[in-house]
Each structure stands twice: as C-alpha cells, then as structure tokens.
Amino acid sequence: MRNGADLPRAARIQLGARQNPARIFPAGPLNLKLHHTGVAVRDISTAADKYIKIFGYEARTGVIHDPTQQAYVQFLNFPGEEVYLELVQPDGPNAKLSQAVAKGGGLNHVCYSVDDIEAACRELAGRGMFAIAEPVPAVAFGGRRIAWLIGKGVCLTEVVERGGEGDL
C-alpha cells in the first residue's frame, strides 16, 4: 500500500496530489486560487443568520443584486480568511437558480480566481470542461468578469478575474 496501487482510482489520485500536486494541475496558464463556494438558498437573510450564528462567519458584503445572473448574493467569510461563502438566492420564480432552490438548495458551485479568464477557460476546456457562456461582467465583483463551466463529474465551476488587494 506504500505507493497506493491497491487503492481505488479516486484515492490514488488524492494520494498522487499529496505527493505531487503537479500531477493534478500540470503547468499551464491556470494559476487557480479558490475564491468562494456558492450555496443556493431560498432566503439570504435567514441563511446568513444561520451561518453567522452556527459557524461564526462574518458578513463581508451586504446583499447584492446581479440582474445578469438573475440572483441576489451575499458574501460571508471567517475573520482573516480570503476564501468566501457566497449565499445565492434567485431574484424571481423564473431565475436560473429557482429550480435548484425548489429542490432544497445547498452546494451550487465552486469559484476560482484567475489572472487571465480567457486563458483559464481555454485551458479548462482542454481538460474536459465546457463553457456555458462567454465571460461577462459581474456586479458583485465591481465589473470584473466571470465565466461558468461544467464538466462530467465536476461541480458547476465559476471563474472570476482576480482583483486587487482588498477586492472581493
């Protein structure tokens, strides 16, 4: 078991990542940094109160409406942390997220910040991900662009252009 040969494939990949992270993310233009995890919720205010009271999160932003994404969002984080929890609420019954919330909500997506969004989308496409749409400006990020990608067996993925120090 020293080299993991007798483990299932997923465990071997995890083992390989600990021994050599380049095996999972080979050199390339990605330079991914975990930015946030998005959670689909029915009501942001109620959800934020729970995350703050139960886990000790702090509200980093107020509630932000992004009509392009058809959603209200709010970002929480732990004091001193750079990774956020994004609460996402549909802005109406026909919003893209409404169906997920009707089924109970929960984990919706993982977001990574990138230096070059076009290069990251091309690189991820080369690794089997599919872009849902071209990058678009996002209200929550001061107009920095985001893109959405999907892939087989991978959580819905968002990439956002990396901001400056102190930016969300």
Q: What average pLDDT does the structure give for the chain?
A: 86
Per-residue confidence at 28, pLDDT binned at 50, 70, 90?
low
Q: How far is CA 35 from CA 65, 71, 94, 117, 142, in A?
A: 19, 18, 27, 14, 15
- Percent share of the chain, pLDDT over 90: 78
Class of the CATH domain delimited by 31-161: alpha beta
Report how many helices (DSSP H) and strands (DSSP E) the chain contains, helices first.
4, 10
Cα–Cα distance for residue pair 9/24, rounded to 1 Å: 13
- Using DSSP, state whether 131 is helix, strand or coil: strand
pLDDT tens across 96-120, in order? Answer: 999 999 999 999 999 999 999 999 9
Alpha carbon distance 66, 140 (integer Å): 7
C-alpha–C-alpha distance, residues 116 and 129, integer Å: 17
- Global pTM exceeds 0.85: no
pLDDT at 12: 35
Residue range(s) in the chain whose domain bears CATH number 3.10.180.10? 31-161
pLDDT over 70 at 62, yes or no: yes
